[in-house]
């Protein structure tokens, strides 16, 4: 019984893609195989599993399901989004040049600047939302172009199709961090990207109760290289996290559409507000890449950033008065969150770069949840 038919809609694939009833008991929901090891009939002869760092039945089903929802041949799951990102870099040779969206998630920048830069990787942070910058920056030694679109927290978009076409001409790979859009609203592999990475902690998990990451890929050699890193470095998720993610995947399309309609309403409320200096949301016609959003995304997700007309003291006052928007790290859960990037998620970004990309003391990032939009707007009012 196969449910991963390419003509099916994402709503259906989210529930059935890669999933079979469990063979021994017929359980409809994939069980939690909470085991570290497996019996072998003789040395190196087993039923496909020998040690759960290498593979686990719950994780295997999750990876099939993740591949289906992203339209990929393969998926690999990791203990966190940063572990997934680390695995991608570990497939490269030291000394190579890596172009990176300058306004990426702070933790990604920290991983590159403070950890992998020590091992001879040459990271260059560039505004990839302007295609001419990519044309100028790409070199013969460029092996990877790291795209985050929409970006965190200023929600800039990168033209994935054009970036991937240019990368192919130069023998470089393109990875897209698809965490903000989710597979529901953006399919980077179909646009020409080579790899897709997610923090599954966020929208795919969707309930603020797990940490996880994933990489999706079509190329078998690239998959084998990543699979080796997953096995050899060992940053794998537990069977329980895999079970929770399988549960969450089933409601991902429903949640994403609700996040997106709520975010649109919140952005439209904030945009003309006299206390708001600027709103960052690709679903607004005022967004500089609104037309690109309509081309490469089927929805604008639930992230809205805005600059308050006021100083940091007024930002703190606003955060303390909100009842439904909780001041917290992370995003993508069913509940609405507010975050101060400068002090929280992007504190590790060098100050000069923070200022350049617009992360100042009055910038706030909303992860708009799935509550009733009228209540969220009333809270902000």
First to last CA, the chain: 51
Closest CA to 319 of 340, 345, 342: 340
**Alpha-carbon distance 362 to 150, whole Å?**
20
Main-chain dihedrals φ then ψ at residue 326, nearest 5 degrees? -90, 135
Tell me how many helices (H) and strands (E) the chain has. 14, 12
Ordered alpha helix ranges (H), the chain:
10-16, 57-70, 81-90, 106-110, 131-137, 160-169, 182-185, 220-233, 239-249, 252-270, 290-296, 312-321, 351-356, 373-380
Q: What is the rounded distance in angstroms from the CA atom of residue 38 to the CA atom of residue 51? A: 6
Catalytic machinery residues: 53, 105, 177, 202
336: phi then psi, degrees, rounded to nearest 5: -80, 140
| Number of other residues whose CB lies within 10 A of the CB of residue 381 | 7
Question: How many Å is the Cα radius of gyration of the chain?
Answer: 21
What residues contact 381, with CB distance under 8 A and at least 6 apart? 269
């Amino acid at each position: 019984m196969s449910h991963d038919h390419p003509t099916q809609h994402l709503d259906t694939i989210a529930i059935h893609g890669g999933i079979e009833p469990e063979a021994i008991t017929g359980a409809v929901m994939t069980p939690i195989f909470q085991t570290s090891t497996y019996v072998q009939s003789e040395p190196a002869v087993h039923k496909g599993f020998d040690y759960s760092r290498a593979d686990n039945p719950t994780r295997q089903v999750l990876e099939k399901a993740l591949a289906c929802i992203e339209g990929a041949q393969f998926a690999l799951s990791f203990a966190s989004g940063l572990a997934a990102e680390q695995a991608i870099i570990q497939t490269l040779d030291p000394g190579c040049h890596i172009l990176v969206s300058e306004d990426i998630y702070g933790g990604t920048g920290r991983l590159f600047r403070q950890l992998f830069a020590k091992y001879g990787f040459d990271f260059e942070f560039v505004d990839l939302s302007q295609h001419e910058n990519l044309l100028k920056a790409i070199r013969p030694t460029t092996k990877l172009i790291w795209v985050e679109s929409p970006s965190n927290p200023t929600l800039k978009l990168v033209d994935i199709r054009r970036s991937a076409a240019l990368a192919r001409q130069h023998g470089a790979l393109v990875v897209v961090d698809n965490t903000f859009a989710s597979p529901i609203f953006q399919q980077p592999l179909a646009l020409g990207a080579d790899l897709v990475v997610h923090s599954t902690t966020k929208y795919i998990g969707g309930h603020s109760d797990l940490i996880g990451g994933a990489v999706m890929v079509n190329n078998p050699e690239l998959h084998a290289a990543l699979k080796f890193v997953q096995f050899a470095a060992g940053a794998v998720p537990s069977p329980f996290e895999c079970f929770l993610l399988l549960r969450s995947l089933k409601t991902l399309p429903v949640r994403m559409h609700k996040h997106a309609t709520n975010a649109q309403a919140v952005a439209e409320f904030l945009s003309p507000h006299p206390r708001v200096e600027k709103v960052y949301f690709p679903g607004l016609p005022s967004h500089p890449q609104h037309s690109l959003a309509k081309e490469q995304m089927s929805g604008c997700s639930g992230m809205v950033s805005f600059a308050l007309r006021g100083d940091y003291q007024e930002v703190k006052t606003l955060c303390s008065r909100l009842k439904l928007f909780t001041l917290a790290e992370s995003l993508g859960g069913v509940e609405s969150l507010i975050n101060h990037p400068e002090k929280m998620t992007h504190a590790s970004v060098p100050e000069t770069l923070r200022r350049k990309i617009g992360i100042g003391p009055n910038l706030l990032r909303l992860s708009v949840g799935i509550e009733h939009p009228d209540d969220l707007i009333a809270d902000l009012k």
